[in-house]
Amino acid sequence: MSRISTVKPQVDRARLLQAATSLGLIGSGGTDSVARLLSRLCDPRVEGSEVALIIENHPVLCARVLRVANSAYYGQQRRVTTIKQAVLLLGLAAIRGIAAAACVDRATPRRTQANLADMPALLRHSLATAVAAEALARFEHESIASEAFIAGVLHNLGVAIQVCIDRSGVTAMLEERRRNPARDIRAVESQFATVRHEDCVAAILDAWQLPEALVAATGYHHDPSAAPPAHRVLALLVSLGASLALASGHTFSLEPAAPAEPSPEALGVLGLTARELEQVTTELPEKVESLARALFGT
């Protein structure tokens, strides 16, 4: 017998954070250092020299950043051998984004793979969203392109918490998707889940003390019109980036079967034309593959 929905109880912040702690996303130890890294890397008050030092003090992270800096994604003619050189050649914003993506890969709970969520596919979708959101931002919102990339990378991290808190609800969602693959995923989540994945990610990023813009953009990526006015453009960029990621085939089991068409209102707010949207869509698959190979080795 199918599970019938009623008004779902609110999952309080303490329970969200407890679940995040159980997965190692917050708390003491090595994974907490990922949170501290992200907090510093995403803080606009941290200058380039300090960002370089932070990365250099973490050998694995340093190696990944240099590998991406020398990859086809950036097409550098000169060999990049140090983080300081990478900052000079690629810019501080690009280095923040690369490092944040590497940190998210480390922060994603691998044991969730054995449960319900396909974490490798989720990571690839998040990376595609980041690449698309950054590319869209560069047309009319260059100043927040780096934030768009980072918010795109982070936007679905809450799925791991959702699985931890509400395994039966997520199981019911997946069963409903198998029965009715064309049904709107937001309606499915509303019917079966006790907590929305965007509420989960907002709680994590807030606990990590990331900038308010990133918390808002990830927390409202499914409803950007409801985001605080100061962060609405960033939320729109992430939302549209996610749609382009889905359209390019970068999806996973808890995403819509078909991406929503961008509304004229959204394109108007972002100042984007149909030609610019088509350009980003066309270039996205190759850019994602290039970056994923350099960043994750896949």
Burial of 120 (0-12, 13-18, 19+ CB in 10 A): middle
What is the token pair recorded at 61? 């992270």
**Candidate from 7-11, 76-80, 221-225, 258-262 with smallest mean pLDDT:** 7-11
Contacts of 155 (CB under 8 A, 6+ apart): 126, 129, 198, 201, 217, 218, 221, 238, 242
Model pLDDT for residues 168-209, shown as the tens digit of each residue: 999 999 999 889 988 888 899 999 999 999 999 999 898 888
Between 255 and 217, the more confident residue is: 217
pLDDT surpasses 70 at 1: no
Rounded to a whole number of angstroms, the CA Rg of the chain reads 18
CATH 1.10.3210.10 fits 13-25+110-296, yes or no: yes
Question: Alpha-carbon distance 1 to 224, whole Å?
Answer: 35
pLDDT of residue 117: 61
Q: Other C-beta atoms within 10 Å of 1: how many?
A: 3
* Greatest mean pLDDT range, 72-86, 102-116, 282-296: 282-296
